[in-house]
Amino acid sequence: MNTKLATTIRRLPLVIALILVMSAPMMCALTPDIKGKWVGTAPNGDVVTMIFRDDESMQWSISRPDGTKGVVHAKYKISYDNKPLELDIFDFDLDKFSKFTFQGIVEFRGTDRVAMIGEYTDKGEDVRPSDFGEYTIEFNRVPNNLVAASDNPDRQFVASSIPRDSSMPYLSDCISDCITLIASR
């Protein structure tokens, strides 16, 4: 066998391994990850913050233009196998909403931007939207160094009952009905 060819064949596994090792960080960077803090503005002007943690727990908070604020904690599951991604939020920490499940879809628009829309149900039926529309909320990722300790508040929040705004279905509706909370001050 030709000496050059034999040397090339012996080095080929090393070259392939080197290419794989060097490209692994790039492949990981391209894999979307919902974990982290996300902030977006709903069509009605509410500022919505969602924090997704490694242990599949999450925090969903809202700040209304009138200064009303609230927060709820829940669990989540996300399927990265589907396009768009499917997000379920459930086991809310308020008795009034503990039987509700938010069924949403998520689309990454870069590593630090997502679009989300969804509906909630307490009946177990499939209400997940199939596409994005005018009520989609665009969220931007907050860099880790800007996530404050206040993102795990110990304050007690009380659920309020506010009529549904039928002009804003899906995620905005869920926020208005399920996450409309008044912070006790």
How far apart CA 56 and CA 87 sit, in angstroms, is 11
3-state secondary structure of 35: coil
Tell me the pLDDT tens digit for each residue of 86-102.
999 999 998 888 889 99
Statement: residue 59 has pLDDT above 90: yes
The confidence score (pLDDT) of residue 181 equals 37
Q: Using alpha carbons, list the distances in angstroms from residue 128 to 33, 163, 176.
A: 20, 22, 18
The confidence score (pLDDT) of residue 13 equals 56
- Residue 1 pLDDT class (50, 70, 90 cuts): low
CB atoms closer than 10 angstroms to residue 17? 10
Domain positions in the chain are 1-31, 36-183
The confidence score (pLDDT) of residue 179 equals 41
Cβ burial, residue 7 (10 Å; 0-12/13-18/19+): exposed
Of all residues in the chain, the percent with pLDDT exceeding 90 is 49
Closest Cα to residue 140, out of 38, 34, 54, 51?
A: 38
- Residue 80 pLDDT class (50, 70, 90 cuts): very high
To 5 degrees, how large is the angle CA 111–CA 112–CA 115? 95
Q: What is the mean pLDDT of the chain?
A: 75
Let me know if domain 36-183 sits in CATH 2.40.128: yes
The mean pLDDT value for 129-158 works out to 70
